Structure 1
Amino acid sequence: MPAYPKLVILDRDGVINQDSDAYVKSLDEWIPYPGAIEAIARLSRAGWQVAIATNQSGIARGYYDEQTLADMHARLRSLVAEAGGEISHIAWCPHGPDDGCDCRKPLPGLLVQIRNALGLDSLEGSWMVGDSLRDLQAGEPLGCRPALVRTGKGERTLAKGQGLAGVPVFDDLSAFVDWLLAR
């Protein structure tokens, strides 16, 4: 069996923290799911690198600015550090759906940024954990293994059912980490 990088790439909204159809627009609205911070820390303590790939079109839409996003990510990093873990990299796309960028998921640009930032030759065999099909599709061209969580938009994604054949499904991030660390 080939040696895969011990890397888990997470979507943010709906996987780590509560999502909102009206966007997570402020630090007060950024609310981690129970167990999510500890799950990231457990991965990190077990020797896995953890990175985040997140679409943040609320910036392009004018709902919040890059400083607000930076504040949310500083809080996330701080909470994970307090739990004994580390986030290796956070890649985010500030563009709207019609901006023609290469980083908005389902395109793989954010994952390419992560690969380059971490100095990896390949993401083949890494995990891409999301709550939507577009999260999982972003990892496909780079050989990432997909995992879906039921939190966030996960139940809606499951109800649609398309493109999920063979994809493992977990109640939440903590359940995925339990499963991965037990393998």
Structure 2
Amino acid sequence: MNPISLVFLAFAMSTDAFAAAIGKGSSLHKPRLLEALRTGLIFGVIEAITPVVGWLLGQAASQYVEQWDHWIAFTLLVALGAHMVHAGLKADDEEEEKQSQHSFWILAVTAFATSIDALAVGVGLAFVDVNIWVAAAAIGLATMTMVTLGTMLGRALGSVVGKRAEIVGGVVLMLVGATILYEHLSAA
């Protein structure tokens, strides 16, 4: 795989994480650059690990992973998005202040949900002349960059849409999940 293709692959793998990061950033109370970098690092590490795991699974598990990856991602993202929408629709007396950061586990689950397609890509990379470690590092770095930018963009969106930013974030996550499902089902 040539370096240009690797760069395009890395950024293609990070687009759904970017969209999710916009939602995550919009649901926080004015996230700072350090929180955006933390979010980017969590997403980047998980996005770098999943193609390696897929690569290790190889051809034996490729049919199973390819048949279910879109359903797993869809379910996780819709569930997380619905939770965010529910939290955004709470009555004012129930409404809590926006958090200044998301928990590690919420970020990790979201990152995993947006990186399941990278698992399937990793399986495919097992049959291509590519250094999986370089590919995984490129994917992780691209994702870290895109998620950091997405979180900060979400900050700007959060101030525009006010207290209902969590609803926007939840809808974005559900749309990412629906898009992943649609792309896989329409390609079949």
The normalised TM-score by structure 1 is 0.25
Greater relative contact order structure (CA < 8 Å, 6+ sep): 2
- Please tell me whether Structure 1 or Structure 2 has the larger radius of gyration of its CA atoms: 2
The normalised TM-score by structure 2 is 0.25
More helix by percentage:
2
More strand by percentage:
1
